[in-house]
Structure 1
Amino acid sequence: MASFPNIYNHRKVADTASKACEICYKPSTSVLVTPENKDFFYVCPAHLKDKGFCSPIIDEAALAAKEKKEIDAEIERLNKEFKEKQRKKKDKEKEKEKDKDKDKKEDDKKDDKKPEDKKSEEVTAPALDEEPRVFALKKTFYQQRIDKKRNAEIAKRNRERLQNPNLFPQVPKGLP
């Protein structure tokens, strides 16, 4: 039997599909699954934070890409705000020039129009899961998973052997 790697992805299932946690037997909707789906088991989210059970695997490249994306979003937001302020400033200057021209032409009439105040919309990034999604089990728990899988395979092989009629010896047909 080829063992599976000690890499488990954390997945959530529906509340109706919850099953007992492998450790404390309480109903749980969190599942740890190997990438090839060779092994999976239900576990409480509290156990995922336990340093004695598993440790998160942090993908440095994904973390760097996430930080770069956040920085780019912040730069874009600041650029929009700056352009908006510049546009407002130009609008005010144009408004003042128009007012001066109108004052010269019409002393009796005053135009009380104000430039529209458009507030820049802040772009907020959606709240991402800050919890890690990939874990490595500690040595003892990983070995338990391998042993459990191996025992299940052996039991399956034994059941198949017992179903085979050639396993048991034949009754002798000749005289002794």
Structure 2
Amino acid sequence: MSIPNIWNHRKVADTSAKACEICFKPSTSVLITPENKDFFYVCPSHLKDRGFCTPIIDHEAIAAKKKKEMDDEVERVKKEYEEKQRKKQQKESKKGEETEKPKDKEEKDSKDAEKKDESKPNDKDKVEDKTPPKPEEEEPRVFALQRTFYQQRLDRKRQAEMAKRNRERLSNPNFFPSVPKDRP
């Protein structure tokens, strides 16, 4: 029985922390095989150590994520541009109305000033809401152990299986030889 050298990084609750396999400090990070056949606790600092494991990078997923981010950014910029154009057209139409009716100019100026005072904080809020939060740099989720550590995991798994088999054999009464029934 061979375990593939693909390990997924998972986090557990702080109350479930156990000793790291390398340094024996309490850790909430676990490396587990995709089939859930083997797992062990490891410190996050060991995951960054290239002598212990290397991340398996899925280039297709990264490319798809970057493409999605670019599409979102393009869509956001288009909306901002359309909004600016709409505001610009509204200003031009207001200027055209002001030139046609100079008598009501003073009333409109006072109304426009009130609208601008009210709209300024709202515009800033809209701009702040539209900017997407910068995603933090994600840590790799899939790792491959270095040869020596992978071999240690295989050996440990084999030893556990052998110990289990031996316990089962010893608990079976047919395993031991029976007392001879014939005379010598």
Q: TM-score, normalised by structure 1?
A: 0.91
Equivalent residues in 2 for 1:1-176, closer than 5 Å: 2-103=1-102, 106=103, 109-112=106-109, 113-114=111-112, 116=119, 118=123, 119-120=126-127, 121-125=129-133, 127-176=135-184
Aligned to 2:101, the other structure's residue is in SS state helix
Deviating above 6 A after TM superposition, structure 1's stretches of 4 or more consecutive aligned residues are none
Unaligned runs of 5+ in 1: none
Distance 1:175 1:73, change over 3 A: same
CA deviations over 1:57-96 (Å, ceiling 9, x no partner): 0000011011101111110111111011101101101111
Aligned to 1:111, the other structure's residue is in SS state helix
Q: Percentage identity across aligned positions?
A: 64
Structure with greater helix share of residues = 2
Unaligned runs of 5+ in 2: none
CA deviations over 1:7-44 (Å, ceiling 9, x no partner): 00101000000000000000000000110011110000
Distance 1:28 1:130 in 2: 19
Q: TM-score, normalised by structure 2?
A: 0.87
